[in-house]
Structure 1
Amino acid sequence: MKNSYRFFENRDCQYYPCHEGLEDFNCLFCYCPLYSREHCPGRPEYKEINGRRVKICSNCTFPHKPENYDAIIQFLK
């Protein structure tokens, strides 16, 4: 699956890996397309900042796991 339409890994990126502990790291969804969704399959944290509820995904690895490609596409449909 290396560098197919479902998977891309950029080991030359200055931020690689942006999350530790993943064996196969999918960079295809570097910026999570589900960030704007209220309900997503990942495990975001929420924090109150200046009276606003802010979604924080820095500890979420859901979009970087290759096996989650289909689930992300389904959420985007």
Structure 2
Amino acid sequence: HFGRSGCFGVTLRGSALFCITFHFLAILMIITLERTWHRMNRFSKKEKREMIAAAMKTLSEHKSLSPEAKDRGLNTLQKALERNTDTH
């Protein structure tokens, strides 16, 4: 049956399975970021700016995110970019 997927003995509709998968991946990303956050201090400000800019580009091009979610993500990244920009 195309509209359903089995997961641990429970039948879930596609959107519920997507939601669970999305949250699992989000948690996995958070754990990974926590483990590697201290490594960010090894990067120069220029390298940090380049990584943040790449993340902003990827986020802005993401097609399935709502405009509100994109705005929240871009605002957070913009603040990080400002923190890592030299202002003379």
Q: Given the two structures, how large is their TM-score scaled by the length of structure 2?
A: 0.23
Instruction: Write 1 or 2 for the structure with the bigger share of helix.
Output: 2
TM-score (norm 1): 0.25
